[in-house]
Structure 1
Amino acid sequence: MNLSPSQWAALLPLIIPSVGACLIAIMALDKDQATAKWIRGAMYGTALLAVAASFWLLTELWKSGSQPSFGQLHLDRLAQFTGIFVLVAAALTIMQSWDHFHQEGWVKGETLCLLLFATVGMMLFASTSNFVLLFLALELFSIPLYALVGTVRARSESSEGGMKYFLTGAVASSCFLMGGVLIYGLSGTLDLSMAAPILKTQGLALDPLVLVGAALMLLGFLFKVSAVPFHQWTPDAYEASPHPIAGFMSVATKGVAFIALMRIFPVSFAPLGAVGAKMQSVVAVLAVATLVVGNLTALVQTNVKRMLAYSSISHAGYLMLGFVAGTPAAFNGVLFYLVIYMAMNMGAFGLLTAFGLVGEKTTFDDLRGLGWKRPAMGVAAAIFMLSLAGIPPMGGFYGKYMIFRELVGTGHVGMAILGVLASLVSAYYYLRLLVALFLQAPSAEAERLASDRPAVHAPFAGATVLVCAAIVMAGGFIQTFLSDGFTRRALVEGLGLIR
């Protein structure tokens, strides 16, 4: 396929991070201790420049209104939204990782290389409905994440968590592949957006194999969003991985999976009638299970990262409720909530690095009194926890409200009530973190150990936490601007769901 210079320019947001990852891999080969400090700075600078350049190019595409297509690859509004979303998460992760890995004593350029490749894979995953490209993009961002979970080999749980994530991810990818093969075998097309009309024309809409194929593909997506019962890997993988990587996985992977699901299932399988209705029923049942299991299990956690992991599972349930409603306004609520969720969770995991709680020191007891010692971080923690719990006027409240409102409007009142009750339950374990930060004094042993350790300096992690807190607050006060001017346009001009 011959591309014009303008088309090549439109592909630069995907090309630049890939080139940056290759350059970082070459720089990481330098093992000379005399130049290690400079090489390390160059690697981080390269990663940030690659992400910043791609972000700028995507925002220019957004402002120009251009939506180029390259065969089965569509850089439409939805793809541009996804790219901006993932790149912001990647930039926050890179900045947090500088402080985190210096505290942990494990600074490796390979982590940045893998992170950039995962970022490219995520942008590709949400930019196509072609089954082959979807699967290749899925593997392009999944395989680096498997390695990133186990990147700190000095800790035994790191390798264990990485292996669990790899094995369960391989099964989910196999199911996704088998489902796509069944759909292709019956429809004769690799473009999933065209499969449903073809199957309906051929009278195969009610074929059991169509339902099996759609269910297997749905399983692959639900694994990536940590929906019950495909969630078992999540707490172990999050606990094993470095804090910035856990934060990136919790928001970027979940976000692109939901956006890709939005691109494929509502548009592609709606014409199949009964199959689409059954898929929606399955999502409704799993959403309820995800809300119940995620929230109830988070209540009993003593480890902060495991609590945030089960919290992430419960938030997948809230987002799945948007698919149960199935209206364009509900999908708009899902996109809006993803933006706020990115800031909430990246900020929450960034707090652990900013407080100097790396390695295994991530229990609630380790947080005691830190809110008064680091008041700016304490206020940010309060913003994140209150927003995660859905308390107004934080951005998290409006994201949930947009979804619950559509559930009521479509007759799913019971599920809306369940979502509200789940939010009330979650308030307990979110406020528990604030109680530890502000209302509990550290033990004498903890004070003694703290006095023996040098002071923690994490300026970059602290800066990202404050940026995330500002985004969450902005989401609460200018939600109409963000919703109508950003997320809604992604649906209007990307999928054409709203007219």
Structure 2
Amino acid sequence: MSLTPSQWAALLPLILPALGACLIPLMSLDKDQATAKWIRAVMYGTALLAVGASFWYLTDLWQTGAQPSFFQLRMDRLAQFTGIFLLVAAALTILQSWDHFHQEGWVKGESLSLLLFSVVGMMLFASTTHFVALFLGLELFSVPLYALVGTVRARPQSAEGGMKYFITGAVASSCFLMGGVLIYGLSGSLDLTTAAVILKAQGLALDPLVLAGAALLLLGFLFKVSAVPFHQWTPDAYEASPHPIAGFMSVATKGVAFIALLRIFPGSLAPLSAVGVKMQAVVAVLAVATLVVGNLTALVQSNVKRMLAYSSISHAGYLMLGFVAGTPAAHTGVLFYLVIYLAMNLGAFGLLTAFGLVGEHTTFEDLRGLGWKRPAMGFAAAVFMLSLAGIPPLGGFYGKYMIFRELVGTGHVGLAILGVLASLVSAYYYLRFLVALFLQAPNAEAERLASDRPAVHAPLAGATVLVAAGIVLTGGFLQYFLADGFARRALVEGLGLIR
């Protein structure tokens, strides 16, 4: 079967990372120790080249205004926005992993290959409303992440964390699959957009099986974003993962799940407005629980990665509030928040590698005094933590402000107040990070470990400082550029949610 240029254009952003993922394991077959260093460099270069080529192609599509499609795959504005988001996250993860895997003593090409396959699955998941393609994308990005959590087999908690993530993920995928089966069984269509129109025409919008199917679909999404009560896997999986993989999971998985949720519920299932109202009520209740559990549990953590894991859960609550508001401006705020969150959280996990906190040494005690030893990283840490806490004028503040403003405008004042209070609570554990870095003197054991830590390499240091600078800039004119430019056009020309 020959493909038209338009069909190739829709597939190419997925083909390029997949091609890189297939080539990298072949390079790792060379076991000659004399050439191992060069082979590793070529593997990382290939991964960055595959990501960079796909990024260049998607930005070219964005600039030309083309929105090609291939059967059920639609490379529209929202899909292009998602692809650019994911590829930036993947590039930063690859840059961070060079340092981290060397510090762990575990540099394996298959880790890069799995990462690229996961990116391909995420782009597919966010680019279709056909249920079979959705489920294939879900599994294609989930299965590599299960393996990546347990990448460093020398650490005993890696296998445990990977198994917990796999088992809970399998249950969530099964629920997602059953939800799609129920909707297909009633409508006869695997495309969710067509199914919604058929169900409305047949008067089945409030049929119990339709509601059950929509609820099961929603459960699958909420598991991926770590919403309460589907969050139990998050701290164990993040703690077991290498730092760059934990950072990638925290931003990419959450980002693609929220964007796909945006495509399905306000988008494809819009004709079933009654279903949407009921799902909105469910999301509101779970958003409150997510904010409360995430923030209060983060307060008592002594391990930095577990603190960041519960912090990630709480940020899912803020993003869910954007769906509760339900306005076009709130949806725009969700996309803007995701972009800022990518920078903040990937930067925060990258700091652990930059400070040499590898393996078991990821507690607040291990951070003491490191801010003065590596001032550039200390500055970046201050930016990331203050932005995560929502302190103005940093980008994290504007992300929350855009959502809270719409909550007030739609009459959800109580939820907006709860969100503000949750931000105030979160300031404690984010500032605790900075207090350890700058205001606490290291003990003898921490001094000994600090002297043994390697210097941070230029790629990681440069990427971390660049991301921190980006967060500072988004507090100013880039807020309007991202929110009113890229994010808004993704919704207007991708979903037509803004008229």
TM-score bin, normalised by smaller chain: over 0.9
Distance apart, 1:70 and its partner CA: 1.3
Distance 1:87 1:81 in 2: 10
Contact 2:10/2:70, CA 8 A, preserved across alignment: no
CA distance in 1 between partners of 2:183 and 2:386 (Å): 43
What are the within-5 Å matches in structure 2 for residues 27-176 of structure 1?
27-176=27-176
- Alignment partners' CA distance in 2, 1:392 and 1:235: 28
In 1: Cα distance, 2:348 partner to 2:226 partner:
18
User: How far off its partner does 1:298 sit?
Assistant: 0.2
Distance (Å, rounded) in 2 between the aligned partners of 1:455 and 1:173: 41
Partner residue in 2 for 1:428: 428
How far does residue 267 in structure 1 lie from its aligned partner after superposition? Answer: 2.1
- How far is 1:470 from its partner? 1.7
Q: How does 1:49-448 map to 2 (within 5 A)?
A: 49-448=49-448
Kindly indicate whether residue 478 of structure 2 is the aligned counterpart of residue 470 of structure 1: no
SS in 1 for 2:107: coil
- The answer to whether the 8 A contact 2:395-2:474 is kept is yes
**Partner Cα separation in structure 1 for residue 30 and residue 459 of structure 2:** 25
User: Taking structure 1 as reference, are residues 455 and 205 closer, same or farther at Cα in structure 2, changes over 3 Å only?
Assistant: closer
Give secondary structure in 2 for the equivalent of 1:357. coil
Would you say how many aligned residue pairs link Structure 1 and Structure 2? 498
Confirm or deny: 8 A CA contact 2:125 2:133 kept in the other structure.
yes
Once the two structures are superposed, residues 9-64 of structure 1 have per-residue CA deviations (whole angstroms, 9 ceiling, x without a partner) of: 44221101101100001112222222211111111010000000000000000000
Q: Is the 8 A contact 1:74 1:127 kept in 2?
A: yes
Question: Mean Cα displacement is larger for which, 336-345 or 185-194?
Answer: 185-194
- Measure, in 2, the Cα distance between the counterparts of 1:410 and 1:314: 22
CA distance, structure 1, for counterparts of residue 410 and residue 9 of structure 2: 43
- Residue type of the partner of 1:94? I
Tell me the CA shift for residue 333 of structure 1: 0.1
Q: TM-score, normalised by structure 2?
A: 0.98
Deviations 1:406-428 (A, max 9, x none): 00111100000000000000000
Secondary structure of the structure 1 residue equivalent to 2:271: helix
Tell me how far 1:216 sits from its aligned partner.
0.4
Compared CA separation, residues 278 and 40, structure 1 to 2 (3 A): same
Looking at structure 1, the residues matched to 22 and 162 of structure 2 have their Cα atoms a distance apart, in angstroms, of 23
> Contact between 1:354 and 1:459, CA under 8 Å: does it hold in 2?
no
Question: Displacement, 1:305?
Answer: 0.3
Q: Give 1:252 deviation, angstroms.
A: 0.2
Structure 1 residue 5 displacement after superposition = 2.9
Q: Which moved more, 1:37-46 or 1:109-118?
A: 37-46
Q: Which runs of 4+ in 1 moved over 6 A?
A: none
What is the aligned partner in structure 2 of residue 460 from structure 1?
459
Report if the CA contact (8 A) 1:48-1:91 is conserved.
yes
Counterpart AA for 1:202: Q
Give the SS at the match of 1:270: coil
Q: Percent identity?
A: 83
AA at the equivalent of 1:124: L
Distance in 1 (alpha carbons) for counterparts of 2:211 and 2:31: 53
Task: Answer yes or no: is the 8 Å Cα contact 1:356–1:458 preserved in 2.
Answer: no
Deviation at 1:6, TM superposition (A): 4.4
CA deviations 1:200-227 (Å, max 9, x no partner) are: 1112111100000000010000000000
Summarize the Cα distance change of 1:308–1:454 in structure 2 as closer, same or farther, 3 Å threshold: closer
C-alpha distance in structure 2 between counterparts of 1:132 and 1:9, whole Å: 21
In structure 2, the gaps of 5 or more residues are none
Letter in 2 for 1:242: P
CA distance in 1, matches of 2:82, 2:206: 33
CA distance in 2, matches of 1:448, 1:366: 11
Query: How far apart, CA to CA, are the structure 1 residues paired with 2:450 and 2:473?
Result: 35
Could you list the per-position Cα deviations for residues 342-378 of structure 1 after superposition, in whole angstroms to 9, with x for gaps in the alignment? 0000000000001111111110011111111111111
The offset of 1:454, in angstroms, is 5.3
Structure 2 distance, partners of 1:130, 1:341, is 28
- Cα deviation, 1:303-362, whole Å, max 9, x if unaligned, reads 000000000000000000000001110000000000000000000000000111111111
Task: Call closer, same or farther: CA 1:163–1:69 in 2, change over 3 Å.
Answer: same
Classify the secondary structure of the residue corresponding to 1:271.
coil
Amino acid at match of 1:23: L
Matches of 1:273 and 1:390, distance apart in 2: 33
Indicate conservation of the 8 Å contact 1:378/1:437, yes or no: yes
CA deviations on 1:114-153 (whole Å, 9 max, x unpaired) are 0000000001110000000000000000000000000000
1:7 to partner: Cα distance: 3.2
Higher mean alpha-carbon deviation, 193-202 vs 155-164, is at 193-202
Distance 2:267 2:19 in 1: 34
Please say if residues 380 and 465 of structure 2, whose CA atoms lie closer than 8 Å, have aligned partners that are also in contact.
yes
Q: Which amino acid aligns with 2:461?
A: G
Q: Which residue of 2 aligns with 1:12?
A: 12
